[in-house]
Chain A
Amino acid sequence: MQPGRLRLMIAALAFGAIAVPAQAATVRIVMENLVISPAEASAKVGDTIELVNKDVLTHTATARNGDFDVMMPPKKTATYVLEKPGSVDYYCRFHPNMKATLKIEP
């Protein structure tokens, strides 16, 4: 690859990275077969997390620090807008083996 083209690509990537965060994003988190994925997700304050429950069981996304507690009925999707920054460990109250982390930047 020519160095010139590489620089152009880097410039394009950088531009993309700067342009995107201007708007709040939606971060998708899936609960399937009693596993939360991704196990570690990143988002920003103001972003919406979309919690997709693919199981036949009711799940919750419950923050250990008490910041949020969202319930998802079977086969349903819930959304939640992030209000506070921090690295939040959350789990399902009904299935405590289901654990994940959400890193919320200011």
Chain B
Amino acid sequence: MFVRLGAAIAAITLVSGAALAEGKLTDPQIAHIAYTAGSIDIAAAKQAQTKATNKDVKAFADDMVRDHEAVNKQALDLVKKLNVTPEDNDTSKALSKAAADKLAELSKLSGAAYDKAYVANEVAYHKTVNGALETQLIPSASNAELKSLLQTGLKIFQGHEQHAEHVAAELK
């Protein structure tokens, strides 16, 4: 699992790097990446709501659905207000592909093994996304409101990362 996870992260990093190499990410691309990243975590959390057995893991999944839906709603409201159409791109595609693989992999697990794998992936996933926000998405964003929303998002997702780490530590 960890090897595959590593590969997925490497793929994301590689593609992000490629996208960057082509030039700066545009706001429509950034909005798409941020929204996609949120949707991915919502899908993972919804799977966890049906599969998780540990109560802390279930509660964490509820938190993820609640927060990421709230942030994604803000993002949708903002792109509407700014009259921006989110634009699909290689980073979004790589994220979606890696997430679909991970979801399929997790679907085969159950019980405590599932709980552990889900939470471990949440730690890794939030780390990756937070890193991307900090080093690529936020610095590349041109619109001040988009930048501000991404910064708020980063703060929220850093909290998620710590929360996930805490839950992971409790599972051991």
> Interface on A for B, CB 8 Å cutoff?
33-34, 56-58, 74, 93-97
Q: Which residues of chain A have C-beta atoms less than 8 A from B59's C-beta?
A: 93
Shortest Cβ gap from B109 to chain A (Å): 26
| Bound Cα distance A95, B71 (Å) | 14
Shortest Cβ gap from B137 to chain A (Å): 18
Please tell me if the beta carbons of B70 and A58 are within 8 angstroms of each other in the complex: yes
Is B80 an interface position by the 8 A CB rule?
no
**Which listed residue (B66, B152, B159, B162) contacts A58, Cβ 8 A?**
B66
| Bound Cα distance A1, B33 (Å) | 64
Q: Is the interface of A mostly helix, strand, loop or mixed?
A: loop
Q: Which residue of B lies closest to A95 (CB)?
A: B159
| Bound Cα distance A95, B73 (Å) | 19
Known: A56-B71, A56-B74, A96-B166. A34 touches B159 (CB 8 A): yes
Please tell me if the beta carbons of A95 and B163 are within 8 angstroms of each other in the complex: yes
Q: Is the interface of B mostly helix, strand, loop or mixed?
A: helix
| Bound Cα distance A11, B137 (Å) | 58
Is B4 an interface position by the 8 A CB rule?
no
Please tell me if the beta carbons of B152 and A33 are within 8 angstroms of each other in the complex: yes
| Bound Cα distance A57, B73 (Å) | 11
Contacting residues of chain B (147-172) with chain A, CB-CB under 8 angstroms: 152, 155-156, 159, 162-163, 166
**Which listed residue (B66, B70, B155) contacts A33, Cβ 8 A?**
B155
**Which listed residue (B67, B73, B155, B166) contacts A94, Cβ 8 A?**
B67
Q: Which residues of chain B have C-beta atoms less than 8 A from A57's C-beta?
A: 66-67, 70-71, 156
| Bound Cα distance A94, B162 (Å) | 12
Q: 3 nearest interchain CB pairs?
A: A97-B159, A94-B63, A56-B70
| Bound Cα distance A33, B158 (Å) | 12
Q: Which residues of chain B have C-beta atoms less than 8 A from A93's C-beta?
A: 59
